[in-house]
């Protein structure tokens, strides 16, 4: 049930509390606040009932219009996992040896390091900045300043 209340500055605040989810937002008019609250309530009711095919068909704009990815997560719908299910299955099929031998290009082509972490897999993946940081932390020669200039030029 939505609760709309006027604020001292003339705006209106819409509070939605439903199924353990609390959402609120401030609007310049009561009509806009009520429309938003109705939309969020409708989303809270419909999101858990959506089929996988329907979830895959949603665009980013549709997801934002329904309350955002955070609302989906609060309702127990992991859009990231659903959208990347085939990739996650391919990652899970890799052996430990194959995981450690992946190049950064292969990791990116398979969905990126975030997807590997989502699958609970350890990989050897370092960004250029991390490699440079390690290199410079071990550097103990006189021309440290020149090395820093070279690293900054490479970025």
Structure confidence by residue, pLDDT tens digits, 72-88 = 888 888 887 788 887 88
Q: Do residues 2 and 16 touch, judged by C-beta distance below 8 A?
A: yes
pLDDT of residue 104: 76
Q: Assign 3-state DSSP to the chain and report helix, strand, coil percentages, each to 5.
A: 60, 10, 30
More confident call, 133 vs 59: 59
Q: Please determine, for residue 155, whether its predicted confidence score (pLDDT) is greater than 60.
A: no
* Whole-angstrom distance, CA of residue 13 vs CA of residue 22: 13
* Whole-angstrom distance, CA of residue 18 vs CA of residue 88: 32
pLDDT of residue 154: 56
Q: Please determine, for residue 127, whether its predicted confidence score (pLDDT) is greater than 80.
A: no
pLDDT of residue 106: 82
The span from the first CA to the last CA of the chain, in angstroms, equals 52
pLDDT of residue 118: 78
In the three-class reduction of DSSP (H, G, I as helix; E, B as strand; rest coil), residue 68 is classed as coil
Q: Which residues contact 39 (CB under 8 A, 6 or more apart)?
A: 65, 66, 67
Q: What six digits make up the tokens of 49?
A: 């009932």
Q: Do residues 25 and 36 touch, judged by C-beta distance below 8 A?
A: yes
Q: What are phi and psi of 68, to 5 degrees?
A: 95, 165
* Paired residues of 12 in beta bridges: 6, 27
Q: Please determine, for residue 142, whether its predicted confidence score (pLDDT) is greater than 70.
A: no
Q: Please determine, for residue 55, whether its predicted confidence score (pLDDT) is greater than 60.
A: yes
Q: Please determine, for residue 144, whether its predicted confidence score (pLDDT) is greater than 70.
A: no
Q: Do residues 66 and 47 touch, judged by C-beta distance below 8 A?
A: yes
What pLDDT band is residue 37 in, cutting at 50, 70 and 90?
very high
Three-point CA angle 149, 153, 154, nearest 5°: 120
């Amino acid at each position: 049930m939505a609760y709309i209340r006027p604020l001292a500055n003339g705006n209106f605040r819409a509070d939605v509390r439903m199924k353990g989810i609390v959402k609120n937002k401030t609007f310049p008019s009561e009509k806009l606040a009520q429309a938003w609250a109705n939309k969020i309530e409708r989303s809270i009711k419909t999101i858990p009932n959506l089929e996988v095919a329907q979830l895959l068909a949603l665009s980013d704009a549709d997801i934002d219009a329904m309350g955002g990815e955070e609302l989906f997560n609060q309702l127990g719908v992991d859009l990231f996992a659903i959208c990347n299910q085939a990739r996650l299955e391919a990652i899970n099929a890799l052996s430990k040896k194959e995981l450690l031998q992946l190049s950064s290009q292969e990791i990116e082509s398979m969905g990126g390091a975030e997807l590997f972490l989502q699958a609970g897999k350890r990989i050897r993946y370092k960004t250029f900045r991390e490699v440079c940081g390690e290199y410079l932390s071990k550097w103990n020669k006189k021309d440290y300043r020149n090395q820093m200039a070279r690293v900054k030029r490479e970025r």
